[in-house]
Amino acid sequence: MLYKGSVQIKKVDSFTSTPRPQPQASPLEALDDTGKFINWRQARTLLISSTGFFTDAYDIFIINLVTPMLGYIYYKDDHNQMPSGIQGPFKGMVSFGQLVGQLTFGFLGDAFGRKSIYGLELLLIIIATINCATSASAVEGVGAVGFLGFWRFILGIGIGGDYPMSSTVASEWASTHNRGTMIAFIFSMQGVGQIVAALVTMILLAIFKGAVEDNVDNLDYVWRLCIGLGCIPAVATIYGRWTMPESPRYTVNVQHDSEGAPAAIAATETFRAKNRPCVSTPNLDDEEKSTTHEQRDQQQDDFVVVAQPETPVSNAPTSMIEYAESQSHLSGNNREPENASLASEKTVTTIHDENVLQPQKQRKTQKEIRRENIRDFVQHFRKWKNLKVLLGVSLCWFFMDIAFYGTNLNQALILSSMGFAPTDLGAWDTLFKQALGNLILAGLGSFPGYIMSVLTIERLGRKPIQFMGFLMVGALYIVLGAGWEPIQDASVALFIVIFAISQFFFNFGPNVTTFVLPAEVFPTRHRAKAHGIASASGKLGAIIATFAFNALADVGGPPGKRHFLPYVLIIFGVIMLISVIFTHWVPETKGRPLSDFES
């Protein structure tokens, strides 16, 4: 008879002993401990989420190239340009929709579960994209641009819903050491969407070159195809979203279902690897220490662990995670102690499944979750330490989107203003050079920035990348605005390079981290809502920027000349520098499991 601590270890006959039940590791622990490499379940999550986000980005940024085409078709009397008074609201419709979608789907995702909601946002995107591409003018009343604006609003609701849902799903399926990489990879599809939008536009313009030069109204085919092709990846992805299992973290932390989580990830190699015995061998003499691995395994099977029963009920596990982890140290068979005196000295009992202390929390129905959803949310964020984090991620995203969307949704105007794609070249030449300029900016600046974030976010951390991005973009925008004419007089190419560098630090910086951090710093029961609020704050900034950019750009000069554009860039630069302050309110999440943020 051997003792180790408060646990009695009894030698039994290996031929007559019944098989020892294998302790189950916590499924959430299994998710957190998969290491830096992505398993097949996480790869599937990445594919489904990132393909949908690619569609989102394509649909957002294609309007930057479509709007000039609409000017040649529907605004011939306005110098072939959509008036700034119309252009601002038109481009802002998708941002209005995103704001609504982010708030709505964020609350729905927490109230009904990830599985029930994930995929509905993509269905909205498909329906809205098809209707955008087929918008037409009524005989009397609303014109094609009006209908297009309406369906862009509906499209925005779907795109907005994808922000809290995709980020939350990816975060909750990821491990501690690859979570940032997974979420950043999904968001990096925004860069791919920008590049593909420019490439598709250039290809379609090349196909229709002769037709457009013969009759500029043939651009009507081009812009409809540019928009309509965006629904193809969404159609290819929607089935995968509808068939995804419920998030294990939502199952355990919100539904309090101890069986649902392992069922969701039972197919992963990582979880199977975690289901192994947690009993260590007793002290052996030197001869036994020299035995082979096979002999050690046999010796392990010759010992039965018998637990003490004195643990009071008050010390029972209070959460599903604690309960599951406690079971990883317990296993045994129904055996009586061989020595009564020893048994009286160290009281022991055997372990049966029915004797194991059950968690105090009972499984919740979705009705109960929905009933408690808002009340618990208010109570949680009534505390300043929690509210400060929500304000931090929201304000950083708000200020970042003012500058990001203010410039990215108006890149065609910026390129024309600095002489890269002047509007007096002719319709086809102007549109093709604008698409080429967008491709250059995305290829040289935006896309490499996304790649750097994906590769370094787990090494550098989220906050250092965000600090660096805000500082660099702020400084570069001020330089571009202050040196608008001198830089262009020296070289238009130099201006493009500096602007591309600013786009690089946007994406190797706050554009990625403001998406990643809200998916990590909140408890599971509020994660989608909080991410929805933070991203909606960003879209509020995008709406302000969309209207303000077009209104401010023409101040002090004739319409369409963008006389005030340099000062707009300076304003954006100052806003980026201010955002550094609010980054201090957000905790660093590098290397920290999501359980650290479960209040």
Quick one: 286 and 377 in the same domain? no
**Residues 21-78 pLDDT 10s:** 444 455 566 666 655 566 777 888 899 999 988 999 999 889 889 999 999 999 888 7
**Residues 254-307 pLDDT 10s:** 887 766 656 555 544 444 444 443 333 334 344 444 444 444 444 444 433 333
- What's the pTM? 0.76
Judge whether 407 and 401 are in contact, CB under 8 Å.
Answer: no
Quick one: 431 and 577 in the same domain? yes
Helix (H, G, I), strand (E, B) or coil at 554: coil
Quick one: 397 and 280 in the same domain? no
Judge whether 380 and 372 are in contact, CB under 8 Å.
Answer: no
Evaluate if residue 426 carries a pLDDT over 70: yes
In which band, very low, low, confident or very high, does the pLDDT at 567 lie, cut at 50, 70 and 90?
A: confident
Higher pLDDT, 576 or 357: 576
**Residues 65-121 pLDDT 10s:** 999 999 999 988 878 888 877 887 888 899 899 999 999 999 999 999 999 999 999
Judge whether 248 and 27 are in contact, CB under 8 Å.
Answer: yes
Judge whether 479 and 537 are in contact, CB under 8 Å.
Answer: no
Asked, for residue 499, whether it belongs to a domain, the answer is: yes
Quick one: 426 and 494 in the same domain? yes
Asked, for residue 335, whether it belongs to a domain, the answer is: yes
Helices (H), 136-218: 144-173, 179-207, 209-214
Asked, for residue 293, whether it belongs to a domain, the answer is: yes
Quick one: 355 and 489 in the same domain? no
Q: Could you give phi then psi for residue 23, rounded to 5 degrees? A: -70, 145
Quick one: 435 and 469 in the same domain? yes
Evaluate if residue 334 carries a pLDDT over 50: no
At 30 the pLDDT is: 61
Alpha-carbon span 508 to 502, nearest angstrom: 10
Q: Could you give phi then psi for residue 14, rounded to 5 degrees? A: -70, -20
CATH code of the domain containing 201: 1.20.1250.20
For tokens 């046999």, the residue is 298
Q: Could you give phi then psi for residue 303, rounded to 5 degrees? A: -120, 140
Quick one: 346 and 424 in the same domain? no
Question: What residues make up the domain containing 312?
Answer: 2-26+258-362
Cβ count within 10 A of residue 419: 10
**Residues 341-368 pLDDT 10s:** 433 343 333 333 333 334 446 777 777 8
Q: What is the DSSP letter of 444?
A: I
Alpha-carbon span 120 to 105, nearest angstrom: 9
What is the average pLDDT across 170-190?
Answer: 92
**Residues 230-259 pLDDT 10s:** 999 999 999 999 988 888 888 888 887 766
Judge whether 61 and 193 are in contact, CB under 8 Å.
Answer: yes
Judge whether 471 and 580 are in contact, CB under 8 Å.
Answer: yes
At 556 the pLDDT is: 62
What is the average pLDDT across 135-150?
Answer: 82
Asked, for residue 298, whether it belongs to a domain, the answer is: yes
Asked, for residue 419, whether it belongs to a domain, the answer is: yes
Judge whether 331 and 17 are in contact, CB under 8 Å.
Answer: no
- Last residue within a domain, chosen from 315, 347, 362: 362
Distances (CA, A) of 393 to 278, 386, 569, 594: 41, 11, 23, 17
- Last residue within a domain, chosen from 303, 332, 362: 362
Quick one: 297 and 319 in the same domain? yes
Quick one: 338 and 479 in the same domain? no
- Last residue within a domain, chosen from 335, 362, 389: 362
Quick one: 394 and 267 in the same domain? no
At 197 the pLDDT is: 95
What's the number of domains the chain is made of?
Answer: 2
Q: 287-312 b/e with 16+ CB inside 10 Å = b?
A: eeeeeeeeeeeebeeebbbbbeeeee
Quick one: 157 and 240 in the same domain? yes
Three-class SS of 305-359: EECCCCCCHHHCCCCHHHHHHHHCCCCCCCCCCCCHHHHHHCCCCCCCHHHCCCC
Q: Which of 60-69, 95-104, 389-398, 467-476 has the lowest mean pLDDT?
A: 60-69
Sheet containing strand 2-4, edge to edge, reads 2-4, 7-11, 303-306
Asked, for residue 598, whether it belongs to a domain, the answer is: no
Quick one: 384 and 276 in the same domain? no
Half-sphere exposure at residue 479, Cβ-oriented, CA atoms within 13 angstroms: 15
Asked, for residue 178, whether it belongs to a domain, the answer is: yes
Asked, for residue 597, whether it belongs to a domain, the answer is: no
Residue 9, strand partner residues: 2, 305
In which band, very low, low, confident or very high, does the pLDDT at 6 lie, cut at 50, 70 and 90?
A: very low
In which band, very low, low, confident or very high, does the pLDDT at 337 lie, cut at 50, 70 and 90?
A: very low
At 141 the pLDDT is: 64
